[in-house]
Amino acid sequence: MLRQNQSHAITMSQEQIACLLANAFFCTFPHRNTTQPGSEYSNFPTINFSSLLSNVSPRTVQKLKAIFYYFNTVTEEATKPKGLVTFERICLSPSEFPNWSKQKENMTNLHVYLNGFIEKEGQGMLQVDFASKMIGGGVLNQGLVQEEIRFIQCPELIVARLFTEKLGDNECLKITGAQVYSNTTGYSDSFQCNSPHTDSTQRDEWKRRYCQIVAIDAIKFDDPRQQYSEKNIKRELLKAYVGFKGDPQIPTDYTPAIATGNWGCGAFKGDPMLKALIQMMAAAVAQRDLAYFTFGNKKQAEDLKRTYKLLKSHKVTVGKLYNLLLDYCKHQHHHHHVKSVSDYISENMGVHSSQL
């Protein structure tokens, strides 16, 4: 079990995963029959497939199609995958938390992509899963946004629900070696599973596909104004940082860039610009470059490029940007007609650069 506050990894063969998922499909895991508060596994996601099988809807039909493509591929002698997959829970202790207002790092490189997908154009990079605390979110239910789609394309990810306890604020889950089994298009009600997919991604020396995904869960804001507070900004920074932090054994020159986008900005109501800045700061402290996908949103892509250029040309460090964001939170609390975070920063950057 990957329990809270224990950094630990599990590596399994793809065949073992298929066996566990076959059991999940038939709902054979004992003790995993209730999510009642206080019950034995209340702090874990559900794993048996009963909710998927019993709620017939266009969404679950598309999901099951992908699940069947997966089982076909893993049970056919000719296509049976013969590699491994690693699931690693990474936890930071308070002594490893950055002190954001004091961080002197400059912004790393940022490349904004108007089109493209994290899982496709982000190949070879560390790919961000906009996760739920309970890994996989609504994958075994009606959910069909970024995380759930990824888990449906790569059903091996679903097995993480068997052993990954709810993520704490200082933790992430990294998955190395997952394979894509289905070709899909669309999301939510437009989601369609089109055909089986043959994944020809190379394998590493552990026979894992060169594919690394990191699950980080953003805060779900009931009221979007809640995000403009020091406590919540710090929480999101820490979460992004634990996800982005490289392996200390591997030199930064060999550490791939991060492929991400509007993390926690849909149903979770995050402000896309604030979330982009938070991820830029975490990436800077982790010394990694960012590829940011705006999924066709042209205005956002331009705003982001402009803000990034400004930060670079003013040599704004992580600590300086952090202090600007805290000032912005105060401004938010004192004014009725508030500026956007990017407008506030461009107007106040000069003030801060002369002060610091």
What tokens does 310 get?
A: 């400004």
Cβ distance to ligand NAG smaller for residue 5 or 188: 5
Give the whole-angstrom CA distance, residue 53 versus residue 5: 33
Residues 156-195 that bind ligand NAG (CB under 6 A): 168, 170, 183, 185, 194-195
Instruction: Kindly state whether residue 348 participates in binding ligand NAG, applying the rule CB under 6 A.
Output: no
- Binding window for ligand NAG (CB under 6 A); candidates: 29-37, 126-134, 208-216, 343-351: 29-37
Q: Taking CB under 6 A as the rule, does residue 323 contact ligand NAG? A: no
CB of 340 to ligand NAG, least distance (A): 27
Residue of the chain from 50, 108, 201, 340 that contacts ligand NAG (CB under 6 A): 50
Catalytic, 121? Answer no
Question: Token digits for 31?
Answer: 């003790």
Distance in Å from the first CA to the final CA of the chain: 47
5 makes contact with ligand NAG (CB under 6 A): yes
Q: Is 73 in the site for ligand NAG (CB under 6 A)?
A: no
Q: How far is the CB of 136 from ligand NAG (least distance, A)?
A: 13
Shortest distance, position 307 Cβ to ligand NAG, whole Å: 18
Among 11, 23, 33, 123, which residue interacts with ligand NAG (rule: CB under 6 A)?
33
Pairwise CA distance, residues 291 & 293, whole Å: 7
Backbone phi and psi for residue 278, each to the nearest 5 degrees, phi listed first: -60, -45
Q: Which of 40, 77, 121, 148 is catalytic?
A: 148
In DSSP notation, 293-317 reads: E-TT-HHHHHHHHHHHHHHHHTT-B
Are residues 125 and 259 in contact, defined by beta-carbon separation less than 8 angstroms?
yes
State the number of binding residues for ligand NAG (CB under 6 A): 28
- Window 215-274: residues binding ligand NAG (CB under 6 A): none
> Which of 12, 21, 25, 48 is close enough to bind ligand NAG by CB under 6 A?
48
Catalytic residue, chosen from 119, 129, 171, 271, is: 129
DSSP H helices, 167-271, are: 230-244
Cβ atoms of 52 and 65 closer than 8 Å: no
> Under the criterion CB under 6 A, does residue 309 sit at the interface with ligand NAG?
no
Q: Pick the closer one to ligand NAG by CB: 48 or 127.
A: 48
Taking a C-beta distance cutoff of 8 angstroms, is the pair 183, 191 a contact?
Answer: no
Is residue 85 within 8 Å of residue 162, measured between CB atoms? Answer: no
* 40 has catalytic annotation: no
Residues with Cβ within 8 Å of 140's Cβ and at least 6 positions away in sequence, in order, are 46, 47, 49, 51, 52, 158, 161
Interface with ligand NAG includes 27 (CB under 6 A)?
A: yes
Give residue 177's Cα distance to chain centre: 16
Q: Which residues, numbered 91-150, are part of the site for ligand NAG (CB under 6 A)?
A: 93-94, 99, 101-102, 104-106
Q: Residues 6 or more apart from 50 whose CB is under 8 A from it?
A: 27
Of 1, 5, 3, 44, the residue nearest 242 (C-alpha) = 5
Residues annotated as catalytic (active site), given as ranges: 129, 147-148
User: Using CB under 6 A as the criterion, which residues of the chain lie in contact with ligand NAG when the complex forms?
Assistant: 4-5, 27, 30-35, 46, 48, 50, 93-94, 99, 101-102, 104-106, 168, 170, 183, 185, 194-195, 197, 315
